[in-house]
Amino acid sequence: MSSIPCAVVGVGQTHHKSRRLDVSFGGLVREAVFRALDDAEMTLEDIDAVVLGKAPDLFEGVMKPELYLSDALGAVGKPMFRVHTAGSVGGTTAIVAASHVQAGKHRTVLAVAFEKQSEGNAQFALGSGKGASLGAGGAFAPFIRSYIHRSGAPEHIGWKVAVKDRLNALKNPYAHLQIADISIEKVRASPMMWDPIRFLESCPSSDGACAVVLTDEAGGLAAADAGRPPAWLLGASSRSEPPSFPGRDPVRPAAAMVCAADVYAQAGITNPREQIDMAELYVPFSWHEAIWLEAFGIAEEGDGWRMIDDGSTELGGSFPVNCSGGVLSSNPIGASGLLRFAEAANQVRGAAGEHQVDGAKVALAMAYGANSQYFSTWAVGAEQRPFG
């Protein structure tokens, strides 16, 4: 790819909770932004452009929040962009921000994403303001039923993912859900919400924000010289497909597979399972870990659940997934994708704290949205070109 190298040099996030009643909208995003700027040892003056992502405006009932937040984000007199690709938006926000750096248009770009779910109601918003909203669980349950049927996976796979991600969340001080006594028994005993998805196999509703500072090669090298290792962007891609058409397969969406192939080609990844050290996958319902392991070519078709069953995707396993606790532990919807991308960056920077994967050099992050039709993915590395 003949573009300017891009590095992540700052990452910040809020503490995620059901209700962050202590902060305004602006205060919430600024909490993440200043953590990212501090991490990058920068100020708002160092930022050349701002990219903001969030889920539909109906979630908080503020139309065009990017206008309302431009001064809160220090964007006065600077280019300011709003990105919107439903649940994948946080990932797409990072990719749009990166593309400004890669294109040489702006040197240092701030990517910000947030959701303040406590101000409205996600089920209301997802149901377009009408009764009998399916919610995300109702929309995705048939896809999961199809996956279970075709893979022959046993039902405890979903419970295992639910437990693993909540155990990981106990190592992440920012994570919303902190369920110290999480267990297979507890997940299995939780109410059935959208058959076959149980309550504890589902993501929470969270208030939260995430911010990432991206800069060019000189900025990345300067951070490295100063003892603050950057995460180098190895490949980034967004792909989409229509929400419905005859024969569409939401378990292996074409857009997901094309998106993954594009990122791997950019990064020089030919064997994802071996060359990638960990992944932050967008898993709002437990079974999506298996589904995305397969659609993203990390496991063979039909085998994703085996990586879960044998413990490969646990922290300490051969291919850890969602060491941060993932979407299953914190879900500020608009920010959830950017959190995946930020957590992947922190892993290769060696900055993931207690949930750090030992020696992680290459990490993958993905987010998906709407009717499993928008996909955003990036691969980041501790080195600029680990695979030539």
Partner 1 sequence: MARLVESTITFPYRRSLGPVVGAFMTALTEMRILGTRSGDAVLVPPMEWDPRTGAELGNDLVEVGPSGTVESWTWVPNPSAQHPLAQPFAFAFIRLDGATTPLLHAVDAGSPNAMSVGARVAPRWRGERVGAITDIVCFVLGESAEIEGTDAGPASEPVTRMDYEASITYRNPVPVSADRVIEASQEHRLLGQKCPVCERVYAGGRGYCPIDAVELGEGHEVDLSDVGTITNFSIVTPVQYPGQTETEPFVRAFVLLDGSDVILSYQPVIELPATDVRVGQRVVAVWASPAEDSDEGGAMGGTYGRLIGWMPNGEPDIDDPDLVNRIF
d(CA 122, CA 131) in angstroms, rounded, equals 13
Say whether residue 192 binds partner 1 (CB under 8 A). Answer: yes
Say whether residue 120 binds partner 1 (CB under 8 A). Answer: yes
Say whether residue 73 binds partner 1 (CB under 8 A). Answer: yes
d(CA 212, CA 174) in angstroms, rounded, equals 16
Say whether residue 79 binds partner 1 (CB under 8 A). Answer: no
Say whether residue 132 binds partner 1 (CB under 8 A). Answer: yes
- Least distance between partner 1 and beta carbon 75 (Å): 8
Q: What angle do CA 8, 14, 17 make, to 5 degrees?
A: 140
Across the beta sheet with 374-381, the strand order is 80-83, 49-53, 109-116, 207-216, 6-13, 231-240, 374-381, 362-369, 278-280
Q: Which amino acid is at 353?
A: G
- Least distance between partner 1 and beta carbon 29 (Å): 11
Of 2, 180, 245, 359, which lies in the binding site for partner 1, with binding defined by CB under 8 A? 245
- Least distance between partner 1 and beta carbon 307 (Å): 22
Binding mask 283-322 for partner 1 (x = CB under 8 A): ----------------------------------------
Of 5, 17, 25, 259, which lies in the binding site for partner 1, with binding defined by CB under 8 A? 25
Is the CB of residue 73 less than 8 Å from the CB of residue 97? no
Say whether residue 249 binds partner 1 (CB under 8 A). Answer: yes
Please provide residue 115's backbone torsions phi and psi, each rounded to the nearest 5 degrees: -150, 140
Residues 6+ apart with CB under 8 A from 365: 91, 279, 280, 281, 340, 341, 343, 344, 345, 377, 378, 379, 380
d(CA 330, CA 32) in angstroms, rounded, equals 15
Binding segment for partner 1 (CB under 8 A), chosen from 98-106, 159-167, 190-198, 282-290, is 190-198
Is the CB of residue 278 less than 8 Å from the CB of residue 323? yes
Of 250, 272, 284, 332, which lies in the binding site for partner 1, with binding defined by CB under 8 A? 250
Of 114, 143, 174, 296, which lies in the binding site for partner 1, with binding defined by CB under 8 A? 143
Judged by beta carbon, residue 2 or residue 128, the one nearer partner 1 is 128
Please provide residue 162's backbone torsions phi and psi, each rounded to the nearest 5 degrees: -60, -40
Say whether residue 244 binds partner 1 (CB under 8 A). Answer: yes
- Least distance between partner 1 and beta carbon 365 (Å): 27
Residues 6+ apart with CB under 8 A from 247: none
d(CA 284, CA 307) in angstroms, rounded, equals 18
Of 38, 155, 185, 195, which lies in the binding site for partner 1, with binding defined by CB under 8 A? 195
Alpha helices in the chain (DSSP H): 25-40, 65-68, 89-102, 122-126, 135-151, 156-169, 184-189, 217-225, 254-267, 272-275, 288-295, 304-309, 326-329, 333-349
- Least distance between partner 1 and beta carbon 258 (Å): 15
Q: Computed from CA positions of residues 280, 229, 50, 28, in that sequence, does the dihedral angle turn out positive or negative?
A: positive
Say whether residue 104 binds partner 1 (CB under 8 A). Answer: no
Q: What angle do CA 324, 100, 98 make, to 5 degrees?
A: 20
Of 142, 154, 311, 353, which lies in the binding site for partner 1, with binding defined by CB under 8 A? 142
Say whether residue 267 binds partner 1 (CB under 8 A). Answer: no
Say whether residue 375 binds partner 1 (CB under 8 A). Answer: no
Q: Which amino acid is at 219?
A: G
Rounded CA Rg of the chain = 19
Of 146, 183, 266, 384, which lies in the binding site for partner 1, with binding defined by CB under 8 A? 146
- Least distance between partner 1 and beta carbon 124 (Å): 4
- Least distance between partner 1 and beta carbon 77 (Å): 8
Binding segment for partner 1 (CB under 8 A), chosen from 17-25, 100-108, 208-216, 217-225, is 17-25
Of 193, 27, 214, 9, nearest in space to 111 by CA: 214
- Least distance between partner 1 and beta carbon 311 (Å): 29
Residues forming the site for partner 1 (CB under 8 A): 19-27, 30, 34, 44-45, 58, 60-61, 71-76, 116, 118-121, 123-124, 128-135, 137-139, 141-143, 145-146, 149-150, 191-195, 242, 244-251
